[in-house]
């Protein structure tokens, strides 16, 4: 499994040796240990323990350009400045983004505080109402940030549904295809290009939300943040964090509560509120479409991929 993650950065060397170099470059203290974090679809993440504490290292995938990496770090800095609950970034002499050259490859990375807790996917913990309201508030803070970073393509993003459906629908099971196919026309009817846009994290899901030992919520991984229709942030929340696969009324109540909290800072238009249910269904569809492709084409049989495949199927059927 570790080799699959290392392939993302073209690295087959000794992680301990690289970690010791990072400790020196970022002045983190004497190296004590490191451990790969085996979740996520894109980058290579690991924890780093030193005499001064524990840190989180994100090594950006080789698929990302240098500009993509700089962009990622910049939006994290802006989010921290806006008061979003994001782990602290550390600087080397190069700045927040550090380029480390080894014998085998060139690694682009950043270092953050390691949050003493677990993401909701790993912990399997229930998301409380307080957690949901906190995330709705954090989402509004993020969406209120006045930045428009260069666009990057995210194959899981709702805005890319028609193109991804055209490329990947052939791999869907027939019952999933029959539910998702009519959404192509519904997507066109939304005319999303005319909806209010803003900066969005775009991926506030269980794997990217950590609850620490003091029950504080932290949002991580801005890798696919973009300038999106404003309701995209809420739709992503609704298809996972706010979703109760066993209780449709509970899913609806969670969304209602989150909308009330979100709109304390950002008031949605009537058209946004009317479009949101379809947008949420499209979010579920993207989970099924992309996770099915990952499984059948990329042989991704991880627990994470299975989770999003199944939660998407439950969501589509709950909203029929």
DSSP-assigned beta bridge partners for residue 100: 107
pLDDT for position 232: 97
Q: What's the 3-state SS for 110-149?
A: EEEECCCEEEHHHHCCCCCHHHHHHHHHHHHHHHCCCCCC
Mind listing the pLDDT tens digit for each residue in 163-201?
Answer: 999 999 999 999 999 999 999 999 999 999 999 999 999
Residue 247 has pLDDT above 60, yes or no: yes
Angle between helix 161-168 and helix 270-296 axes, rounded to 10 deg: 30
Give the separation between CA 176 and CA 160, rounded to whole angstroms: 18
Q: Which of 232, 237, 199 is nearest to 81 (CA)?
A: 199
The torsion defined by the Cα of 133, 134, 135 and 136, in degrees rounded to 10, comes to 50
The structural domains of the chain, with segments of one domain joined by +, span 2-114, 119-318
CA 42 to chain centre: 10
Per-residue confidence band for 31, with pLDDT thresholds at 50, 70 and 90:
very high
pLDDT for position 14: 79
Mind listing the pLDDT tens digit for each residue in 68-81?
Answer: 999 999 999 999 99
Q: Map residue 54 onto helix, strand or coil.
A: strand
Q: Map residue 63 onto helix, strand or coil.
A: coil
Degrees to nearest 5, angle at CA 41 with 172 and 21: 165
pLDDT for position 45: 87
Exposed, middle or buried by CB within 10 Å (0-12, 13-18, 19+), for 177?
middle
Residue predicted with more confidence, 5 or 188: 188
Residue predicted with more confidence, 15 or 221: 221
pLDDT for position 7: 65
Q: Which of 233, 71, 217 is nearest to 152 (CA)?
A: 71
Residue 285 has pLDDT above 70, yes or no: yes
Per-residue confidence band for 3, with pLDDT thresholds at 50, 70 and 90:
low
For strand 44-50 and strand 53-59, is the pairing parallel, antiparallel, or unpaired?
A: antiparallel
Output the pTM of the full model. 0.88
- Phi then psi dihedrals of residue 9, to 5 deg: -115, 10
Neighbouring residues of 146: CB distance < 8 A, sequence distance ≥ 6: 199
**236, 228 in Cβ contact below 8 A?**
no
Tell which CATH classification among 3.20.20.70, 3.90.1200.10, 3.40.50.720, 3.40.50.300 matches the domain 119-318: 3.90.1200.10
Q: Half-sphere exposure of 258 toward its Cβ, with a 13 Å CA cutoff?
A: 31
Q: Which of 171, 154, 172 is nearest to 163 (CA)?
A: 154
**47, 57 in Cβ contact below 8 A?**
yes
Residue 8 has pLDDT above 70, yes or no: no
**218, 181 in Cβ contact below 8 A?**
no
Residue 4 has pLDDT above 60, yes or no: no
Per-residue confidence band for 101, with pLDDT thresholds at 50, 70 and 90:
confident
Residue 273 has pLDDT above 90, yes or no: yes
pLDDT for position 315: 97
**251, 244 in Cβ contact below 8 A?**
yes
Mind listing the pLDDT tens digit for each residue in 114-145?
Answer: 999 999 999 999 999 999 999 999 999 999 99
pLDDT for position 105: 80
2-114 classified as CATH 2.40.110.10: no
Per-residue confidence band for 42, with pLDDT thresholds at 50, 70 and 90:
confident
Q: Which of 172, 153, 169, 165 is nearest to 227 (CA)?
A: 153
Give the separation between CA 310 and CA 313, rounded to whole angstroms: 5
The mean predicted confidence, pLDDT, of the chain is: 93
Distance spanning both ends of the chain, measured CA to CA: 37
pLDDT for position 75: 95
Residue with tokens 């030992």: 213
Residue 63 has pLDDT above 90, yes or no: no
Same topology for domains 2-114 and 119-318, yes or no? no
Helix (H) / strand (E) containing 318: helix 303-318
Per-residue confidence band for 267, with pLDDT thresholds at 50, 70 and 90:
very high
């Amino acid at each position: 499994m570790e080799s699959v993650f290392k392939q993302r950065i073209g690295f087959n060397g000794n992680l301990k040796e690289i970690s010791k170099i990072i400790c020196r470059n970022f002045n983190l203290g004497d190296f004590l240990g490191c451990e790969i974090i085996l979740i996520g679809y894109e980058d290579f993440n690991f924890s780093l323990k030193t005499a001064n504490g524990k840190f989180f290292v994100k090594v950006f995938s080789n698929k990302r350009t240098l500009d993509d990496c700089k962009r990622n770090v910049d939006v994290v800095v802006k989010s921290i400045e806006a008061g979003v609950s994001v782990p602290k970034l550390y600087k080397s002499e190069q700045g927040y983004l550090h380029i480390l050259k080894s014998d085998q490859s060139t690694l682009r990375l950043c270092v953050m505080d390691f949050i003493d807790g677990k993401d909701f996917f790993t912990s399997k913990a229930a998301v409380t109402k307080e957690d949901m309201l906190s995330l709705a508030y954090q989402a509004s803070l993020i969406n209120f940030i006045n930045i428009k970073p260069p666009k990057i393509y995210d194959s899981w993003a709702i805005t890319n549904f028609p193109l991804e459906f055209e490329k990947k629908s052939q791999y869907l099971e027939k019952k999933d295809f029959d539910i998702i196919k009519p959404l192509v026309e519904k997507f066109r009817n939304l005319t999303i290009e005319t909806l209010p846009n803003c900066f969005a994290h775009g991926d506030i899901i269980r794997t990217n939300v950590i609850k620490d030992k003091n029950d504080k919520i932290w949002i991580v991984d801005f890798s696919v943040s973009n300038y999106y229709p404003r309701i995209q942030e809420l739709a992503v929340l609704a298809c996972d964090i706010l979703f109760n696969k066993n209780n449709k009324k509970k899913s609806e109540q969670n969304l209602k509560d989150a909308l009330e909290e979100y709109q304390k800072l950002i008031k949605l238009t009537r058209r946004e509120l009317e479009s949101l249910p379809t947008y949420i269904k499209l979010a579920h569809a993207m989970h099924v479409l992309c996770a099915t492709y990952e499984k059948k084409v990329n042989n991704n049989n991880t627990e994470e991929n299975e989770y999003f495949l199944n939660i998407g199927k439950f969501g589509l059927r709950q909203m029929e």
